[in-house]
A and B are shown apart, each in its own frame.
Chain A
Amino acid sequence: MTYTQLAMTALGVAVLLDLAVFRVRLLRRGAFWTAYGIVFFFQLVTNGWLTGREVVTYDPGAILGTGSIPFVGDGRLAFAPVEDLAFGFAMILLTLDLWVWWGRRGVQREPVADGPWSRRYRPELDASGAGRERPRRAASARR
């Protein structure tokens, strides 16, 4: 199989695992897509560094592109083959699925993420949809 075919397969498998096997369904959560957007930006930066400098090189026969390394075009984005985006997405989705999956099973759910900028999720507010709001505002709205 070419890298293109493998990358598409990995993408499909990761989506299937998320929705039907682990049933974590991060693909339906805004938190996942926000996190992925951030990771996507940094993937373009770091992978652009690796591919633009030719630290990593690709066989033109294994990718959509023909072997040139433009910033955009010829099957590339930020110097990297677009296949890398599917590779990265599959890896990130699988990683975050496992993280949530273990948390659901009670493996180190604590200490929860919390800090000075925290807007902690409040399950007791979720029935009304208010759990998605920042707690301080939600708490005052309940009074």
Chain B
Amino acid sequence: MLRLAYLAMLVFVLVTTLPLELYLGVRVWRRLRRLALTVLPVTCVFLAWDLYAVAAGHWDFHPEQTTGLVVGALPLEEVLFFLVVPVAAVMTLEAVRVVRGWPVGDEAGTR
């Protein structure tokens, strides 16, 4: 069970943000192309930083608290982190827009 410590955190983020899509109507997962174009560049940049940081010894991962599945030098969870967290951030911004009605700058008719 300890091996799922990191993975459980990612599942927590996915599960807690899903109601924003299903009930609040943020329509982020339904804009998959825009979501991919947004998230994937961020994933690449921050994974590069992560790879450098691990190589330089800035941080490290507990081998017994991760699944043991790896992508190169990184635990699978760490790679998923850079996909899951940016998606959650977009959903949060869209949720604020839904609830408060505040503009974020991409509305039709605005610059």
B-binding residues in A (CB < 8 A)? 2-3, 6, 10, 24-26, 29-32, 34-35, 38-39, 42, 46, 49-50, 53-59, 62-63, 91-92, 94-96, 98-104, 107-109, 111-124, 126, 131-135
- Chain A residues lying within 8 Å of B56, measured Cβ to Cβ, are 62
A49, A50, A116, A126: most-surrounded residue (chain B CB, <10 A): A50
Judge whether A108 and B98 touch: CB under 8 Å. Answer: no
B38 CB contacts on chain A under 8 angstroms: 95, 98-99, 102
* Residues in chain B within 8 A of chain A (CB atoms): 5-6, 9, 12-13, 16, 23-28, 30-31, 33-35, 37-39, 41-42, 45-46, 49, 53, 56-62, 65-66, 82, 85-86, 88-90, 92-111
A84 nearest CB across to chain B (Å): 9
7 other contacts beyond A31-B103, A34-B96, A115-B25, with CB at 8 A cut-off?
A2-B58, A6-B58, A31-B97, A32-B104, A63-B58, A94-B45, A101-B106
Residues of B close to A126: CB separation below 8 A: 103, 110
Note all chain B residues with C-beta closer than 8 A to A29. 102-105
**Chain B nearest CB: distance from A1 CB in Å?**
8
Partner of B103 from A6, A56, A92, A121 at Cβ < 8 Å:
A121
Instruction: With A53-B5, A59-B59, A98-B41 as known contacts, state yes or no: A108 contacts B102, CB within 8 Å.
Output: no
Q: Is A62's CB under 8 angstroms from B58's CB?
A: yes
Query: Considering the chains assembled together, what is the distance between the CA atoms of A126 and B46 in angstroms?
Result: 36
